[in-house]
Amino acid sequence: MKRSSPRQPHHSFVSTIFLIRLFTSWALIPGLLVATPAIAQSKADSPTMTYGQLYKDIKSGQVKKVEIDPLAQKARVTLKGQAEDAAPKTVKLFKTNPELIELLKTSQVNWGIRRTSDNSALVNLLSHVIIAGILIGLLLMIIRRSTQASGQAMSFGKSRARFQMEAKTGVGFGNVAGIDEAKEELQEVVTFLKQPEKFTAIGAKIPRGVLLIGPPGTGKTLLAKAIAGEAGVPFFSISGSEFVEMFVGVGASRVRDLFKKAKENAPCLIFIDEIDAVGRQRGVGYGGGNDEREQTLNQLLTEMDGFEGNTGIIVIAATNRPDVLDSALLRPGRFDRQVMVDYPDLNGRHKILEIHAQDKKVDEEVELATVARRTPGFTGADLANVLNEAAIFTARRRKEAITMAEINDAIDRVVAGMEGTPLIDNKSKRLIAYHEVGHALVGTLSPGHDPVEKVTLIPRGQAQGLTWFTPDEEQGLMTRSQLLARIAGLLGGRVAEEVIFGDAEITTGASNDIEKITYYARQMVTKLGMSELGLVALEGENDNSLGGDWGKRSEYSEAIAGKVDQEIRQIIRAAHQQTHQIIEENRVLMDQLVDLLIEQETIDGDQFRQLVEKFHAKQQEKVLVMQG
């Protein structure tokens, strides 16, 4: 699409009109400046005696001294008997005053002529010089602005990448933990840059690009900083969104300029953060074939592996959306390596906590291994936020060091939100207590379910009560029994309301639970092959944001869709019956747990499991006694 260059005649026209008006008023300003001293003098020496009164006082001998200023047409009169520090009186004179002069000559008055200095010529000259200086300054300012505007227009297509000849990021591989596999792969890149002959001697080539893939907060940008800090070579860093502008061709020009500067400083590193902003698949969605993003991507593909090549330049890019990237960008020769930066495991979280705890005052009783076990699924950014929130709690409570109490409160705040005001002991509080105990009890008694961590009635965020489950170990895969146990645990709150209060008193508190169990059941039927429909994948990982699924028909018939709905309802119905049976069999235990929860407002997971085991042990003893 052809676009005309921006026109700026209006700015020049306005500047010209302004200068013409300024030149026109030039002649008026000197007169005002010259007249200003006279006006000021006139205000300072306002007449205090009339001409007739002066004539009369001279005749009566009351005047001691008269000074006449013919230029200002004034006379300063000193009367006899007047105090020495008193100011003389001023009399306004006429142009010619022959009668006054004759009277003064014949009288005994001490009089004379005292002319004031005439500075009008000097003031006039200075006013012209000042105005000329102002006009010259305005002209220079207009010329300079025009030069800058033209310079900006010429540099609009220049790269905006931040450049460091020696990357002083302050981050090395010692500051990165929890992602050892990614560190190991990227350490080879550093070795390539420091000792390329070690690899080129046997014919190995330096990789063109490394793509860091992973969820937000796992440390992709931190890894790039560590590579730059360790390699000690020139380093360019830019965000993918900085390439794209509303003007067609600007992004491609910036890519060309970036790689031109990089070739001049090779070997070097280029880091492109959030590359999905510019590297999305071509030919889908909006924008057409001549889209600015597509032109920028085409230029990036050419620069990374085109006709000329880019020897000595390693491109490191980061994204959390690899599914939207163009396939031509991901092929070997452009991004030779794709490094997965995933969630840290238990050991990785422990190492991350140790790094972030180095600059904080942590109590000796704090066990970071315990904190790591309680935070599965947390990224490095989440763990850093937990310790920072714990430090804030410590300062607010005026403690000298961070304790486990602050860390536990920080984890709760990060997971569920700010702590609210506890509920008053009434029907609503008891209903919420039964709901939360239902979750915890069914989850504890369902084989394969994650162990309960905490049950609380303290509101956090929008939740009036919360039940946390924490897995004992890292789970990569889930069995069918574990999925069914999770569905049953989610149904525990609603079923507890049904059993205790009846169908008429069920609340809207289970809305989120119902969404989750429907999602799990649908996944089991349509993707995981865990239903009577068999091993068929009826739904794929679709992403409507690319525009490729607009108007797309379902991959299965209406008859199959009906069977899918029937299977989903069957899975949920079976889980509902199982949950109902657990709560009916443990009704007495549930009442005891609810009373304790209302009293304490929070029950830890260990205490909850001990109470459940103790109750079942007593029940078992009663059964044995009855049988004996």
In a 10 Å sphere around its CB, with 0-12 CB exposed, 13-18 middle and 19+ buried, how is residue 260 labelled?
Answer: exposed
The question of whether 181 is a catalytic residue gets the answer no
According to DSSP, residue 77 is labeled E
Phi-psi region of 61 (alpha: psi -120 to 50; beta: other; left: phi over 0): left
Residue 151 identity: G
Dist. CA 452–CA 374, nearest whole Å: 11
In DSSP notation, 317-357 reads EEES-GGGB-HHHHSTTTS-EEEE-----HHHHHHHHHHHT
The torsion angle over the Cα atoms of residues 167, 241, 215 and 535, rounded to 10 degrees, is -140
Q: What is the residue whose two structure tokens read 């961590």?
A: 453
Identify the active-site residue in 303, 436, 497, 567: 436
In a 10 Å sphere around its CB, with 0-12 CB exposed, 13-18 middle and 19+ buried, how is residue 155 labelled?
Answer: exposed
Dist. CA 586–CA 324, nearest whole Å: 50
Q: Is the dihedral of CA 91, 95, 99, 102 positive or negative?
A: positive
Closest CA to 117 of 155, 149, 72: 72
Strand, helix or coil for residue 213: strand
Residue 310 backbone dihedrals phi, psi, to 5 degrees: -145, 60
- Residue 407 in contact with residue 371, Cβ under 8 Å? yes
CA dist 63 → 49, 67, 95, 105 (Å): 12, 11, 22, 13
Q: Is the dihedral of CA 437, 440, 445, 446 positive or negative?
A: positive
Strand partners, 273: 239, 318
Residues 6+ apart with CB under 8 A from 387: 353, 356, 357, 360, 402, 407, 410
Q: In what order do the strands lie in the sheet with 452-456?
A: 466-469, 452-456, 602-604
Q: Catalytic residue positions?
A: 436
